[in-house]
Amino acid sequence: MISLYTMPGSSATAARIALDEAGASYESIEVERDDAGLNVSPPGYDELNPMGTVPTLVDDTHVLTEAAACCLYIASKYPEADLMPAHGSAEWATTIRWLMLLTNTAQAAFLRWYYPEQYTTSSDGKTAVQEASEAGLARVADVLASEIGDGPFLLGGRFTVADGFLAMLTGWGEEFAPGSRWSDDAVLARHYNAVAARPAAGAALVAEGFPQSFPS
Ligand SMILES: N[C@@H](CCC(=O)N[C@@H](CS)C(=O)NCC(=O)O)C(=O)O
């Protein structure tokens, strides 16, 4: 059985959405940290994921880290769920293009906002890190909104694992200043709502602490 190591509302949400959309049988194992941010449970977690982050997905002898890699793995393991277009097709190319932007650029910028102390050695540098993250994220939001257009998904009418990933990111950043949250963008809010309207993805989002919908 697949094991998904997770923390509520974390990057593991994208993998959970993919697993639930696939109807996969899996166990969820919560990683617990102490006040210093060290993983204390389950014992030995950092050997599984040397970065010490979540998610980690274990499927028999396969150990995957990186949320986007987990999503692609799940899509390949459960082809009947149709979570990715046919390998090598134009739609596949478009999907991996946006999924890589989501993880390399957007997710990374959100994580700089949430963990600013990891990106500055200056004791008063955290605010500047967060401001730069928000500015970068505003640019990515514009690009994504323009790509989605009437959508409702990145590929138009077809849902892929990239949409689950994007919905997770749109659900983040609620601490940002009003107007600069991704959920403030009408297109991204509509995209989120379309993902959340799917029974499996919507239940996963809500279970992870995300809203059922955003005003759009
Ligand atoms: N690129 C990694 C990022 C994972 C990541 O940073 N996860 C966060 C939670 S959303 C985490 O575990 N942070 C703990 C830390 O950086 O100490 C992935 O996609 O899995």
Nearest CA to ligand 1 atom 17: 53
What residues contact residue 19 under an 8 Å CB cut-off, 6+ apart? 2, 4, 26, 74
Could you tell me where in the chain the CATH 1.20.1050.10 domains are found? 90-198
CA–CA distance, 186 with 214 (Å, rounded to integer)? 9
* Ligand 1 pocket, mutate which of 54, 63, 118 (most atoms under 8 A from CB): 54
Mean pLDDT, 10 residues at a time, the chain of 216 residues: 97 98 98 95 96 98 98 98 98 98 98 96 94 96 98 98 98 92 97 98 98 95
- Can you name the residues that pair with 30 across neighbouring β-strands? 6
What does the DSSP 8-state code read for residue 184?
G
- The Å distance, Cα 67 to ligand 1 centre, comes to 9
What is the average pLDDT value for the chain, to the nearest integer? 97
What residues contact residue 70 under an 8 Å CB cut-off, 6+ apart? 4, 12, 14, 15, 18, 55, 57, 64
> Following DSSP, what letter does each residue of 60-78 receive, concatenated?
TTEEEESHHHHHHHHHHH-
For residue 76, the one-letter residue type is S
Could you tell me where in the chain the CATH 3.40.30.10 domains are found? 2-81
Which residues line ligand 1 at a C-beta cut-off of 6 Å? 10-11, 37, 52-55, 65-67, 103, 107, 111, 115
- The Å distance, Cα 85 to ligand 1 centre, comes to 27
- The Å distance, Cα 53 to ligand 1 centre, comes to 4
What residues contact residue 47 under an 8 Å CB cut-off, 6+ apart? none
- The Å distance, Cα 39 to ligand 1 centre, comes to 12
Q: What is the number of other CB atoms lying within 10 angstroms of the CB of residue 134?
A: 18
CA–CA distance, 161 with 143 (Å, rounded to integer)? 19
- The Å distance, Cα 66 to ligand 1 centre, comes to 8
- The Å distance, Cα 11 to ligand 1 centre, comes to 6
152: three-class secondary structure by DSSP: coil
* Cβ–Cβ under 8 Å, residues 102 and 164: no
Nearest CA to ligand 1 atom 1: 66
6 φ/ψ sector (left φ>0, alpha ψ -120 to 50, else beta): beta
Q: What is the CATH number of domain 90-198?
A: 1.20.1050.10
What does the pLDDT read at residue 216? 85
27: three-class secondary structure by DSSP: strand
- Can you name the residues that pair with 27 across neighbouring β-strands? 3
In CATH terms, the fold of domain 2-81 is Glutaredoxin (3.40.30)
* Ligand 1 pocket, mutate which of 10, 111, 115, 210 (most atoms under 8 A from CB): 111
* Residue 56 backbone phi and psi in degrees, to 5: -130, 135
**Looking at the whole model, is its pTM more than 0.85?**
yes
pLDDT tens profile 68-84: 999 999 999 999 999 99
Peptide bond into 178 cis (omega under 30): no
pLDDT tens profile 41-58: 999 999 999 999 999 999
**HSE-CB for 2 with a 13 A CA cutoff:** 21
| CA-CA-CA-CA torsion sign (144, 64, 199, 209) | negative
